[in-house]
């Protein structure tokens, strides 16, 4: 069986910082209101010359460097984003060119905040099938470009950033099981229209790509959906919540993160939290949090890490992985799980 360990991680956020105090001068809100309801204190915002691909390229270079690999070593680049530089070419193709990864194929995935999880699951399948040995997986967003800065219900939530990892074929480590779900019937609870959206009889369509969200509905959905998705991946790997060394959830809202940890019976310190510094960075959220956890020394060899997320679609899912810096199973130990989808299809 071919495993796929994480060989290197990288993250990048723009230099520009937008604090809650800054937002108080823009819309009718307050630092206390934002912190109490979301846990967010600041977020990073891209400069006019920055794009999703430029942020992604910076994170990718860091991940490659930490993996001690050259761009020519890559077989595939997969980028997840809801804010591409344009309709095409893909962000992945722009990163592939920027790196000089001449051997690599490249394509994008769009599953909103679940995009990175979907891209990582895809990369795992390429490696497991023997079609690729090393895959660069990226989550990157410039959500500040699709935020309505007059809507206090959404503009306080989102930020810009990028996270990347290199997945490499190995004898041990990496994803054990995953599950991906979607319910398109609930799409209007969280969406953004764009220039290719529906047209009326005169051919007129949406001129803005603003994010629209039913906050109360999403909050209720998110806690339950992520908790159950984690339980599914644990069951598939024949493990229980007590086997989770670190929970790395989508960083959308501190109360949602705390709700998922509590529902799984995990102490607060086992949940990775950085939403206070970056806000909701959509598909960049999980790789940025995982990278920061590694930088903080929170991932010991053989640690079991549960990733979980939700987003527009509505889409949700989870992945359980084993952390390994060597790709070699520890003596007397090894993977108890089976690398496979927890189950196929949506609900």
pLDDT level of residue 200 (50, 70, 90 thresholds): confident
* pLDDT averaged over every residue in the chain: 93
Tell me what pLDDT residue 264 has: 98
Q: Which of 20, 110, 274, 280 is catalytic?
A: 280
Q: Higher pLDDT residue, 5 or 330?
A: 5
pLDDT tens-place string over residues 125-184: 999 999 999 999 999 999 999 999 999 999 999 999 999 999 999 998 999 999 999 999
Does residue 226 register a pLDDT over 70?
A: yes
The band of 193, judged by pLDDT with boundaries at 50, 70 and 90, is: confident
Residue-level pLDDT at 335 = 47
Residues constituting the chain: 347
Residue 253 annotated in active site: no
Write the Ramachandran bin of 18: left for phi over 0, alpha for psi from -120 to 50, otherwise beta.
beta
pLDDT score recorded for residue 330: 72
Q: Is the pLDDT score of 339 beyond 80?
A: no
Q: Does domain 3-172 have CATH number 2.60.120.260?
A: no
Strand partners, 162: 12, 140
Of the residues 3, 44, 181, 250, which is catalytic? 250
With tokens 């099981």, the residue in question is 177
Which residues are 10's β-sheet partners? 164
Alpha-carbon dihedral sign for residues 157, 114, 13, 191: negative
206, pLDDT greater than 80: no
Q: Spelled out in words, what is the top-level CATH class assigned to the domain 176-341?
A: alpha beta
- Is 280 marked active-site? yes
pLDDT of residue 297: 96
pLDDT of residue 326: 81
Mean per-residue pLDDT for 182-204? 83
Report the helix count and the strand count for the chain, using DSSP H and E.
Answer: 10, 14
Q: 324 with 174: CB under 8 angstroms?
A: yes
Distant-in-sequence, close-in-space partners of 179: CB < 8 Å, separation ≥ 6: 229, 232, 233, 236, 317, 318, 319, 341, 342, 343
Q: Would you list the domain boundaries of the chain?
A: 3-172, 176-341
Residue 39 makes CB contacts below 8 A (sequence gap 6+) with: 253, 254, 255, 257, 273, 275, 276
209 pLDDT more than 90: no
78 has a pLDDT exceeding 50: yes
The band of 329, judged by pLDDT with boundaries at 50, 70 and 90, is: confident
How far, in Å, CA of 56 to CA of 259, rounded? Answer: 30
Q: What is the pLDDT, as a whole number, of residue 343?
A: 40
Mean per-residue pLDDT, 53-60: 98
Task: Report residue 25's pLDDT band, with 50, 70 and 90 as the boundaries.
Answer: very high
Answer yes or no: same fold for 3-172 and 176-341: yes
Q: What's the pLDDT score for residue 185?
A: 97
More confident residue, 158 or 325: 158
Residue 207 has a pLDDT of 65
Q: Would you state the pLDDT for residue 338?
A: 40
Q: Give the pLDDT confidence score for residue 340 in this predicted structure.
A: 45
Catalytic hit among 113, 155, 291, 308: 113
Residue range 82-119, pLDDT digits in tens: 999 999 999 999 999 999 999 999 999 999 999 999 99
pTM of the model: 0.93
Q: What is the pLDDT of residues 240-284, one digit of tens each?
A: 999 999 999 999 999 999 999 999 999 999 999 999 999 999 999
Predicted local confidence at residue 294, as pLDDT? 97
């Amino acid at each position: 069986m071919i495993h796929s360990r994480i060989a290197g991680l990288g993250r990048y956020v723009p230099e520009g910082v937008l604090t809650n105090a800054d937002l108080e001068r823009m819309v009718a809100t307050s630092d206390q209101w934002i912190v109490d309801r979301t846990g967010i204190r600041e977020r990073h915002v891209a400069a006019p010359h920055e794009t999703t691909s430029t942020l992604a390229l910076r994170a990718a270079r860091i991940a490659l460097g930490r993996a001690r690999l050259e761009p020519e070593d890559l077989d595939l680049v997969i980028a997840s984003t809801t804010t591409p530089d344009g309709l095409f070419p893909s962000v992945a193709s722009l990163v592939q060119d920027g790196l000089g990864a001449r051997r690599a194929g490249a394509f994008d995935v769009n599953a909103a905040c679940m995009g990175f999880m979907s891209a990582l699951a895809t990369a795992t399948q390429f490696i497991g099938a023997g079609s690729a040995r090393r895959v660069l997986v990226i989550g990157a967003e410039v959500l500040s470009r699709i935020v309505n800065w007059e809507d206090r219900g959404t503009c306080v939530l989102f930020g810009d950033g990028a996270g990347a990892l290199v997945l490499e074929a190995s004898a041990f480590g990496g994803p054990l099981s995953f599950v991906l779900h979607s319910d398109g019937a609930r799409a209007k609870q969280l969406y953004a229209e764009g220039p290719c959206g529906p047209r009326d009889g005169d051919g007129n369509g949406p001129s803005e790509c603003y994010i629209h969200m039913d906050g109360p509905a999403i909050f209720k959905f998110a806690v339950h959906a992520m908790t159950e998705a984690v339980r599914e991946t644990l069951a598939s790997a024949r493990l229980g919540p007590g086997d989770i060394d670190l929970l790395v959830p989508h960083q959308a809202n501190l109360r949602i993160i705390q709700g998922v940890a509590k529902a799984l019976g995990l102490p607060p310190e086992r949940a990775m939290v950085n939403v206070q510094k970056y806000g909701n960075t959509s598909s960049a959220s999980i790789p940025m949090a995982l990278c920061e956890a590694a930088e903080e020394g929170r991932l010991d060899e053989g640690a079991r890490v549960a990733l979980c997320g939700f987003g527009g679609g509505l889409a949700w899912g989870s992945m359980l992985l084993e952390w390994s810096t060597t790709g070699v199973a520890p003596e007397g130990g090894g993977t108890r799980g089976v690398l496979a989808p927890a189950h196929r299809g949506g609900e």
